[in-house]
């Protein structure tokens, strides 16, 4: 892979209440070989303590602006505690195409506040509010707050930083989160976020511990794996920077980063106002990596494995692949056909199941042997099974090829590969269309195709 800045992946990190971007320094250093961590001071915290718009929507816009300004086109979000709630909103808006951002590949939550109201004892809330009643948070408050949130004493440097960050926090932001932000119910606005996700919990954390994470964030992120760090309180990035870094790196390499990357210039066009929000959202959701451990929804495990073997031959993909077989499985489960089927075939799911059962032995065959079978399937000469006639196999196989190739082409990385930019033919505010239509001509905004001629 090239290492030009824009093709590196960025992890945008959002800190907790009373904390700041600096809290991620340790994590950033330890993952620097695979990810650029770009931690953001949220309004009212750290270097942004002077900012006044500290509500959740304002914080979300602030984060989106920072991501847009960075030019990142492939990125993940890391959200710690309060920052986790904001990360979930940013993620939801990105996947819906609402934020003129493109390239979100995954979300990491660290002891995160959920989109629903955060569980918090009223007494604790009242105490914490009282610390800021006189307009600033003092050293005593900071000491009490940090001590209440760690599993064991922090390393002295981290401790000093944590205490300083609490005292840097604007009282208004502190109060706004405790009184409003933490209580806001954004469950509906966020919905479920079907993308690679990692949820880390502190084994000794209180209200936002492992159990709460599974219940409140696990339901938002159906794909998330939830892990607890033993002996750890609430301040994960400060308490266990190396363990967090290790988990983030593993998440990127095994889960979030395994799909094909959409080239940076194409991603920028998708993010731009030339592309409608709805279209951007469709492409954003298709661009996230497939779940390598997904349980098939319509097929059995063996049927899916057989379809994957066929898919590799029908649509050979170079490099990081799209799991088009899994995507066809999802399409079958959703009942989404193409409006018709060959009258000689049983209903789609049944046809797939029957044909794939019959072809299951192919899983252990060599590519050459598989190709020989495919040739006969396509020609209507495959008559080795009672389950379907040769003509039925041919009809099913035609449908299967169409389904597979469409899933391949629907991915924005494939659109980029074949030089198709028709998705950017008009946005929501100005309907641009195309001004230049001739052969060998292109408009300034049009990106060059990935495959050279």
Nearest approach, Cβ of 331 to other proteins (angstroms)?
Answer: 9
User: Residue 21 contacts by C-beta under 8 Å, 6 or more apart in sequence?
Assistant: 13, 15, 39, 40, 41, 46, 47
User: Residue 242 contacts by C-beta under 8 Å, 6 or more apart in sequence?
Assistant: 26, 30
Q: Is 344 in the site for other proteins (CB under 8 A)?
A: yes
What is the DSSP code string of 30-73? HHTTT-EEEEEPPTTSGGGTT----SHHHHHHHHHHHHHHHT-S
Nearest approach, Cβ of 200 to other proteins (angstroms)?
Answer: 35
Nearest approach, Cβ of 360 to other proteins (angstroms)?
Answer: 20
Q: Is 315 in the site for other proteins (CB under 8 A)?
A: yes
The interface with other proteins within residues 390-429 (CB under 8 A) comprises 398, 401-402, 405-406, 409-410, 415, 417-420, 422-423, 425-426, 428
Of the candidate residues 338, 350, 369, 381, the single one contacting other proteins (CB under 8 A) = 338
Sign of CA dihedral 412, 414, 416, 419: negative
Decide if 399 contacts 424 (C-beta within 8 A): no
Phi first, then psi: what are they for 216, rounded to 5°? -95, -35
Q: Measured from the CB atom, is 28 or 325 closer to other proteins?
A: 325
Mark the segment that binds other proteins (CB under 8 A) among 34-42, 191-199, 351-359, 445-453: 445-453
Q: Is 381 in the site for other proteins (CB under 8 A)?
A: no
Q: Is 445 in the site for other proteins (CB under 8 A)?
A: no
Edge-to-edge strands, sheet with 104-110:
36-40, 10-14, 75-80, 104-110, 197-202, 225-229
The interface with other proteins within residues 252-281 (CB under 8 A) comprises 276, 278-279
Q: Is 47 in the site for other proteins (CB under 8 A)?
A: no
Q: Is 438 in the site for other proteins (CB under 8 A)?
A: yes
DSSP label of 14: E
- Rounded to whole angstroms, the Cα distance separating 223 from 220 reads 9
Mark the segment that binds other proteins (CB under 8 A) among 131-139, 243-251, 293-301, 311-319: 311-319
DSSP label of 106: E
Q: Is 282 in the site for other proteins (CB under 8 A)?
A: yes
Q: Measured from the CB atom, is 218 or 412 closer to other proteins?
A: 412
Q: Measured from the CB atom, is 143 or 406 closer to other proteins?
A: 406
Applying CB under 8 A, the site for other proteins has a residue count of 53
Nearest approach, Cβ of 1 to other proteins (angstroms)?
Answer: 21
Long-range contacts of 122-128 (CB under 8 A, 24+ apart): 125/178, 125/182, 128/174, 128/178
- Rounded to whole angstroms, the Cα distance separating 106 from 90 reads 12
Instruction: Find the distance separating the first CA and the last CA of the chain, reported in whole Å.
Output: 21
Of the candidate residues 8, 308, 313, 365, the single one contacting other proteins (CB under 8 A) = 313
Nearest to 95 by CA among 108, 107, 84: 107
Of the candidate residues 222, 253, 350, 431, the single one contacting other proteins (CB under 8 A) = 431
Of the candidate residues 2, 33, 343, 386, the single one contacting other proteins (CB under 8 A) = 343
Sign of CA dihedral 186, 190, 71, 277: negative
Mark the segment that binds other proteins (CB under 8 A) among 71-79, 259-267, 354-362, 435-443: 435-443
Nearest approach, Cβ of 313 to other proteins (angstroms)?
Answer: 6
Nearest to 325 by CA among 416, 412, 405, 388: 405
Q: Is 226 in the site for other proteins (CB under 8 A)?
A: no
Nearest approach, Cβ of 420 to other proteins (angstroms)?
Answer: 5
H helix or E strand, kind and range, residue 376: helix 367-379
Nearest approach, Cβ of 387 to other proteins (angstroms)?
Answer: 19
Nearest approach, Cβ of 99 to other proteins (angstroms)?
Answer: 17
- Which of helix, strand or coil describes residue 238? helix
Mark the segment that binds other proteins (CB under 8 A) among 42-50, 54-62, 63-71, 335-343: 335-343
Residue 162, CA atoms < 13 Å, CB-side half-sphere: 27
Q: Is 351 in the site for other proteins (CB under 8 A)?
A: no
Of the candidate residues 336, 363, 387, 445, the single one contacting other proteins (CB under 8 A) = 336
Of the candidate residues 374, 388, 413, 416, the single one contacting other proteins (CB under 8 A) = 374
- Cα angle value 3/270/266 (rounded, 5°): 35
Q: Measured from the CB atom, is 31 or 283 closer to other proteins?
A: 283
Q: Is 314 in the site for other proteins (CB under 8 A)?
A: yes
Decide if 77 contacts 11 (C-beta within 8 A): yes
Q: Is 449 in the site for other proteins (CB under 8 A)?
A: yes
- Residues forming contacts to other proteins in the complex (CB under 8 A) are 276, 278-279, 282-283, 313-316, 336-344, 347, 371, 374, 378, 398, 401-402, 405-406, 409-410, 415, 417-420, 422-423, 425-426, 428, 431-440, 442, 449, 451, 453
């Amino acid at each position: 892979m090239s290492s030009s800045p824009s093709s590196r992946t960025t992890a945008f990190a959002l800190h907790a209440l009373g904390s700041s971007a600096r809290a991620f320094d340790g994590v950033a250093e330890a993952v620097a070989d695979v990810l650029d961590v770009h931690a953001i001071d949220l309004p009212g915290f750290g270097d942004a303590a002077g900012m006044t718009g500290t509500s959740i929507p304002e914080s979300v816009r602030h984060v989106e602006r920072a991501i847009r300004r960075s030019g990142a086109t492939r990125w993940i979000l890391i959200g710690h505690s309060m920052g986790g709630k904001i990360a979930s909103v940013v993620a939801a808006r990105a996947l819906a195409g609402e934020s003129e951002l493109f390239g979100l590949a995954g979300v990491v939550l660290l002891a995160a506040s959920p989109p629903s109201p955060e569980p918090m004892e009223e007494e604790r809330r009242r105490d914490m509010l009282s610390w800021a009643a006189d307009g600033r948070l003092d050293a005593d408050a900071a000491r009490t707050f940090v001590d209440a949130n760690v599993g064991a004493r922090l390393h002295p440097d981290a401790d000093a930083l944590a205490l300083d960050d609490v005292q840097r926090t604007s009282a208004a932001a502190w109060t706004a989160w405790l009184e409003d932000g933490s209580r806001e119910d954004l469950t509906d606005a966020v919905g479920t976020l079907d993308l690679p996700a990692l949820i880390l919990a502190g084994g000794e954390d209180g209200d936002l511990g492992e159990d709460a994470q599974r219940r409140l964030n696990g339901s938002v992120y159906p794909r998330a794996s939830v892990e607890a760090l033993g002996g750890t309180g609430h301040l994960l990035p400060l308490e266990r920077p190396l363990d967090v870094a290790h988990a983030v790196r593993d998440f990127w390499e095994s889960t979030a980063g395994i799909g094909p990357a959409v080239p940076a210039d194409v991603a920028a066009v998708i993010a731009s106002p030339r592309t409608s929000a709805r279209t951007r959202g469709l492409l954003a959701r298709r661009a996230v990596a497939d779940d390598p451990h997904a349980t098939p929804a319509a097929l059995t495990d063996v049927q899916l494995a057989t379809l994957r073997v066929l898919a590799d031959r029908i649509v050979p993909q170079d490099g990081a692949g799209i799991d088009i077989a899994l995507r066809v499985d999802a399409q079958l489960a959703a009942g989404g056909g193409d409006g018709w089927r060959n009258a000689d075939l049983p209903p789609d799911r049944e046809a797939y199941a029957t044909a794939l059962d019959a072809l299951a032995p192919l899983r252990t065959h060599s590519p050459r042997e598989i190709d020989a079978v495919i040739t006969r399937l396509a020609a209507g000469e495959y008559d080795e099974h009672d389950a379907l006639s040769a003509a039925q196999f041919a009809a099913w196989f035609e449908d299967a090829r169409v389904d597979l190739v469409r899933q391949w082409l629907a991915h924005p990385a494939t659109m980029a590969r074949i030089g198709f930019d028709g998705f950017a033919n008009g946005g929501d505010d100005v309907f641009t269309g195309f001004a230049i239509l001739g052969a060998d001509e292109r408009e300034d905004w049009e990106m060059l195709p990935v495959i050279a001629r």
